[in-house]
Copies of this chain bind each other. A is one copy, B any other.
Amino acid sequence: MKTIVIKLSGILFSLNSDISRIKKITKILEEINRKGFKIIAIAGGGIIARNIQNTARTMNADEAFLDQIGIDVSRLNAKLMIASTTKACQHIPKNLDEVVNLLISSNMVFSGGFSPGQSTNATAALIAERTKAKLFINTTDVDGVFTSDPIKNKKATLIKSITITDLFKKLNPEIMKAGTYDLMDMLSLKIIERSKIPTVIIKCDSTRIKSSLSGQFIGTKITFSKL
């Protein structure tokens, strides 16, 4: 079983999701299927998750409860993906063992998050690890990893290739500012590192996804230092 794991950025989903954009992505996924790869795509929560979480936070819900709301919405988004193709497994897995079993009889599995305290990024990394993925495609709302924040700094340039160690260091200063960074990405990086998962970080776009399978693509590739 050769698998490719794709994290679909939450940016893809809203109360008025861009259907043509979704359809284009599922067409690429079907194409990858035909090339002989099984696909597991993990949907993020996006703006619906954030809004409902904000409402619940205002009512004093604890963070783990809010995480669960995020997971619920990511599963709704995964359902939308299922509706966008006739090739997908109809069941949304709730844990790693289910993913592995669904892949026995399905070629395309859509998932949301699994567990509070674990971002959908980390869930995707775990799935990539458990299924020994040939490639883990992590899609975001920017082009990849930049030399600095591209929004604040116009001279920031895209990094085409970075070692996992350098990526940790890059994230590190931000880690020290408690509350401002996304630890969950730390967890997914850690999983990528411990199992040396081939990983690219790209923009959530059908053309970019397609090209990420070839050598030439726009985005950032994570590399591992030799031992």
Contacts and interface: CB of A to CB of B under 8 A. Distances in A.
A60 interface: yes
Contacts of A169: 176
Interface string A95-122: 1110011001110000000111110001
B187 A63 contact: no
B76 A75 contact: no
Contact of A83 (B65, B101, B164, B168): B65
Contacts of A23: 59
A76 B52 contact: yes
B187 A176 contact: no
A90 to B, nearest CB: 4
A211 interface: no
Contact of A60 (B52, B83, B116): B83
A interface secondary structure, majority = helix
Interface in A36-59: 48, 51-52, 55-56, 58-59
Contacts of A75: 72
A83 B59 contact: yes
A115 B126 CA distance: 10
Chain A's interface size range is: 35 or more
A51 B16 contact: yes
Name the residue among A58, A64, A165, A172 with the largest chain B CB count within 10 angstroms: A64
Contacts of A15: 15, 48, 51-52
A143 B69 CA distance: 32
Nearest to A181: B190
A20 to B, nearest CB: 10
Interface in A46-94: 48, 51-52, 55-56, 58-65, 68-69, 72-73, 75-76, 79-80, 83-84, 89-91
Given A52-B76, A115-B115, 19 more contacts: A15-B48, A15-B51, A23-B59, A59-B83, A59-B84, A64-B191, A65-B79, A73-B76, A76-B76, A89-B104, A90-B100, A104-B106, A114-B115, A115-B118, A117-B122, A117-B191, A172-B176, A179-B194, A186-B186
8 contacts: A19-B58, A19-B59, A55-B80, A72-B76, A76-B76, A90-B100, A115-B115, A169-B176
